[in-house]
Structure 1
Amino acid sequence: MPQQLNQEERLMRWARERESLFLALQRASIPEKLVAYKQLEKRILKETRTAQERQVIQRRISMDLLVATSDGSWRGFSPYLRRAERLGYASMFDRLLACVLAAQASKQSPVGRTKATALITDIERRTRGRKLHPGVREEIDGALSRARRILGINTIKAGAHSSASPTSLSARKRRPSK
């Protein structure tokens, strides 16, 4: 490189490279995408200067790999989901994307459906009771609804359709009728 690039400039350059690769691979097979992303990651990681840069690149490439493998089988997708979980998600939006992609990739896989359902539950737990901007709340609710729809899970939240608690319902059933 002719001159030293600062961290922000390096991250922007790498983002453009990832974007170009994404566009170039739109019609490629999953194995071709995997090879290309792994090569890009290897090359970029050689250029990183800090642990933070390394972590950012690994997380971003990890999300790219999830997108690339989500149209395939659960068996091909799940190692990259485990990698994303191990590296940690950069944001709630990455977590949401992983959840929807897991639901999509879980077709015909009971293990995948269980994992995707667990991801939905985890996001609900993390966001329950938090004051969020209405647009962010809408984004979260929309993504979770999509994941549930893909999985064929009831989209009505527990308790939303009935004001009575389960205890009061079971108590009514035990009362003798007159």
Structure 2
Amino acid sequence: MDRWVALLRGVNVGGAKVAMADLRRLVAGLGHDDVKTYLQSGNVVFGSTVRDAEALARGIERAIADELGLSVPVLVRSGRELAAVAGGNPYADREDDPTRLLVAFLATVPEKSAVTALTVPGGENVAFTVTGREVYLHYPDGGYGRSKFTNNYLEKQLGVVATTRNWRSVRALAEQAAP
């Protein structure tokens, strides 16, 4: 059985409201084991014999739609993928404050032309690295909350669905999903 992490976009942070108890119940109801949520923002760690991340994401999206009446994008990463993300942050050695480091998880690999064209809005000091389906973000002068280089901005510029987590959450989820 593999360990997986489902990341719901926009849940309980200005978007759809989903109780974590309901989310655990829905994911367990799909036949997955050892279902745990992390924080209140739509992070679910679980075990499953299903080996197709897209099928897992579609199943969770459908269950949320059917049972809660909400349309919520779900991105799924394996425990191994999340461990690689947690171990591959190019900014981790430059920053002691984990609130200034984030990872935007992308539903698909963006077009190369979109990645090449991606720039930080004028006047902002943000470093970013796009690696496959992740964007590592570093906000050395302050927090993500004051920036225009946000999840919505990334989605618009890259043309893909994204959901962003802070570095503390990424590390905690990677630890919980470790094989």
TM range (shorter): under 0.3
Larger Rg, first or second structure (1 or 2): 1
* TM-score normalised per structure 2: 0.27
Higher relative contact order, structure no. (Cα contacts within 8 Å, ≥ 6 residues apart): 2
Q: Which has the higher strand share?
A: 2
Q: Which has the higher helix share?
A: 1
* TM-score normalised per structure 1: 0.27
